[in-house]
Structure 1
Amino acid sequence: MTHSSSSADALRPNQFREHQERLEDEVLSPYAVRSSQTQGRQNPEPLDPVRTEFQRDRDRILHSKAFRRLKHKTQVFIDPKEDHHRTRLTHTLEVSQIARTLARALRLNEDLTEAISLAHDLGHTPFGHGGEQALDEVLREYDPKGEFRHYDQSLRIVDVLERGGAGLNLTWEVRDGILGHSKGSKDLGIVEGTQLPSSLEGMCVRIADRIAYINHDIDDSVRAGVLRLEDLPQDALDVLGRSHSARIATMVMNVLESSVGAPEVKMTGVILDATNRLKDYMYANVYNMEVRGQIEMDKAQLMVKELFRLYMGQPHLFSEEEDLIRYDFDRLPTDEKLRAVTDFVAGMTDRYAVTTFQKHFVPSAWAY
């Protein structure tokens, strides 16, 4: 008995990408971004015979040094003794899972969604948002008009810093999604003053980021003893659910029901209101208040600032890491020195920042 081969089985190696592009045309929503219709790369490259353009971007991000460093960067709690607290890497993976679920259900481009998800937090500093605030403050000591934002740094990493200064040369759609993912403390649905992604895939990541961090930060905060479920707004839990998985499921279903067949991805109604109330509670009681870890965060912010000042004053102390871009500091104008030191400090992991601070600021035992 013989079996006829499918069209995919009969493909020659140089036809795999074209076959996937045809499948996108057949399956994806009219509102989805087709990889064959990308606005392209800053530096044009030959097409890959197997992978679509967004698959190539995903792979480049996944294999980057900046992505690997996320495993040693704080999400909320610095150097947790408990193995189950999130890091910036596990946050990224949770965002990717939720965003891909949304994209698949809405028949959007899952590869584009995944690529944006994996890259959206590459620019985060050591010690989470506290480190970001410290780096922003110390940068302004040298340039009052300067500012540090992790989403801008994420784009700089993929455009310039990776591959020893060559960058990853990602597609326009992935770069746009990286820059448009951040909301800060603003409510979902409030877009004034924020740059939204141009694609629905980017909007999936933007919403998935909020869904992921609200829920996993509640989980980590309860585990750390910073808050109890009874402390959370009970009316919000009545709407969203009393367990981690129930809340995520409720939020995801609302996004799907509000967005299916529409040229937008959004959360609406009582679910949106309850989600925003949980977010406000976390900002007031965990992210911005003097919780149990605030003393340690103060120390972490001090380290970030002192390392920055050290390298501005003595740039020759820059590490001799293999992948560090080389600079001739004697010839650099001040703004470019600031840029180079910002890149270096922002790229540190928590433990590398601690080790480097100890090396330069903590005395060693004298040898007699």
Structure 2
Amino acid sequence: MSDMQRPALAAYAANPAHSRGRVYTPSSSPTRSEFQRDRDRIIHSTAFRRLQHKTQVFLHHEGHHYRTRLTHTLEVSQIARSIARALHLDEDLAEAVALAHDLGHTPFGHAGERVMADKMMPWGGFDHNVQALRVVALIENRYADHDGLNLTWETLEGILKHNGPVAGEGVSHHGQDMAVALADIPASADLLPETYASLEAQVAAIADDIAYNSHDIDDAARAGLLAIGDLIALPLVGPIASEVLDMWPEAERGRQIHEVQRRLITRTIENVIAESAERIVAAAPVDADAVRALSYPLIGFSPETATAEKELKRFMFDKVYRHPLVMVPVRIGETVVARLFDRYMEAGDMPGRWGLAFGAARSDATRARVVCDFIAGMTDPFALEEYARLFDETPDFR
């Protein structure tokens, strides 16, 4: 199906013609919708290119065939488009949110994020979704007449809230104070942090889960941390693994794992489409604002698949994410980020505009946010370069 044959948008979809707009009014485009322009701005941003050298699970030194934040992001965007199209949503908004969803990640994956959350606790906390919002709204500085990418309200909302509300009773994101976090974020209207986001943003969130569930199995098998036989007893993926072994018992391990991975992606996508369609019919939202008014998400796995998916996550956590091959470099990455933060806070010896901003800051909170923004934007290799420059040593991850 070509782009010219896309299904018409449903009434509950986000409509680019009815966007709440941008902070700065751009010139008009005769060929692209507002959400297409957001997608393109994200793809051409510096922060997006940096994802190529940021850790997903396996660090950059371990090989060129493992996923990085960039390849993960591209897989998420493909899955998001597939789901959005089937549900008659705006594919471009779903893709834009998917492409931007990891722009706020620190170097060294979640290890760096944990350190940053701890270090920033006295000054409003740290959350990678909020940091992604800072990247697209403030930190990118390529345009002549404004900072940031000047994205639409809907894309900003999706980046912030694709995982659900970020303010309200019982909501806590790594100690992030939302009043502080959003105080300097320019948007054309209130981002409504206490509500769920559009269906397109919800699609991007579940596409993230589908992508890393499947590709982490592939990467872990490539690293020798698991075999296809390890998956047999698990719900969700176990029946798929048995099916593949029955069909191709003599195939190479890599081919078997790939067959498991692609079937897992297909079946979870199909499950989400079927379940979400039923929820949408039951809720009968008349427009995108009616989606936001709901107290629950409309995009999700069926209850049975959701339970099985959580079991798969637990298995991967125990078998892969806490494996010594992963944890040794994780601990080193945590040390690098922690020592960089402490050194910058003490001396402010950051290059270029970051050092200038640090010097101009009038409070510890402002200085800490400058340091946080600088470190969060680093690639893994650049963080190691800075570490070597400041401490005259190079960590050995091997």
Give the TM bin, normalised by the shorter chain.
0.7 to 0.9
Amino acid at match of 2:277: V
Distance 1:94 1:198 in 2: 21
CA contact (8 A) 1:134 1:305 kept: yes
Q: Deviations over 1:153-200 (max 9, x none)?
A: 0001011101167111111111111112347xxxxxxx9748664211
- How far does residue 234 in structure 1 lie from its aligned partner after superposition? 1.6
Amino acid at match of 2:276: S
Q: Where does residue 354 of structure 1 map in the other structure?
A: 384
CA contact (8 A) 1:181 1:196 kept: no
Please, which of 106, 125, 141 is the counterpart of residue 147 of structure 1?
125
Matched residues, percent identical?
41
Please, which of 148, 162, 173 is the counterpart of residue 167 of structure 1?
148
SS at match of 2:221: helix
Amino acid at match of 2:264: R
CA contact (8 A) 1:233 1:277 kept: no
- How far does residue 237 in structure 1 lie from its aligned partner after superposition? 4.1
Change (3 A) 1:267 1:237: closer
CA contact (8 A) 1:176 1:197 kept: no
Structure 2 runs not aligned, ≥5 long: 173-193, 242-259, 286-297
Q: Where does residue 343 of structure 1 map in the other structure?
A: 373
Q: Where does residue 276 of structure 1 map in the other structure?
A: 310
Distance 2:239 2:270 in 1: 11
Amino acid at match of 1:299: I
**Greater mean alpha carbon deviation, residues 264-273 or residues 129-138:** 264-273
- Indicate whether 1:230 and 2:211 are aligned: no
Change (3 A) 1:61 1:330: closer
Please, which of 10, 14, 20 is the counterpart of residue 39 of structure 1?
20
Please, which of 239, 246, 271 is the counterpart of residue 263 of structure 2?
246
- How far does residue 41 in structure 1 lie from its aligned partner after superposition? 1.4
Q: Where does residue 338 of structure 2 map in the other structure?
A: 305
CA contact (8 A) 2:214 2:264 kept: yes
TM-score between both structures, scaled by the size of structure 2 = 0.76
Q: Where does residue 272 of structure 2 map in the other structure?
A: 255
Distance 1:154 1:122 in 2: 5
Structure 1 runs not aligned, ≥5 long: 1-19, 184-190
> Rg larger in 1 or in 2?
1
**Greater mean alpha carbon deviation, residues 298-307 or residues 158-167:** 158-167
Q: Deviations over 1:31-58 (max 9, x none)?
A: 2111001111133334323211101111
CA contact (8 A) 2:232 2:238 kept: no
Distance 1:174 1:192 in 2: 25
Amino acid at match of 1:78: L
- How far does residue 239 in structure 1 lie from its aligned partner after superposition? 6.2
Q: Where does residue 318 of structure 1 map in the other structure?
A: 350
- Indicate whether 1:333 and 2:350 are aligned: no
- How far does residue 223 in structure 1 lie from its aligned partner after superposition? 1.1
Which stretches of structure 1, 4 residues or more, deviate above 6 A after TM superposition?
none
**Greater mean alpha carbon deviation, residues 27-36 or residues 75-84:** 75-84
CA RMSD between the two structures: 2.5
SS at match of 1:353: helix
Amino acid at match of 2:56: Q
- How far does residue 74 in structure 1 lie from its aligned partner after superposition? 0.1
Please, which of 137, 145, 162 is the counterpart of residue 181 of structure 1?
162
Amino acid at match of 1:309: D
Q: Deviations over 1:110-139 (max 9, x none)?
A: 111111111010000000001111122223
Q: Deviations over 1:192-248 (max 9, x none)?
A: 748664211111101100000111111111111223333346241466622001111
Distance 1:233 1:129 in 2: 28
CA contact (8 A) 1:196 1:203 kept: no
Please, which of 70, 85, 90 is the counterpart of residue 89 of structure 1?
70
TM-score between both structures, scaled by the size of structure 1 = 0.82
CA contact (8 A) 1:177 1:197 kept: no
Distance 2:326 2:203 in 1: 32
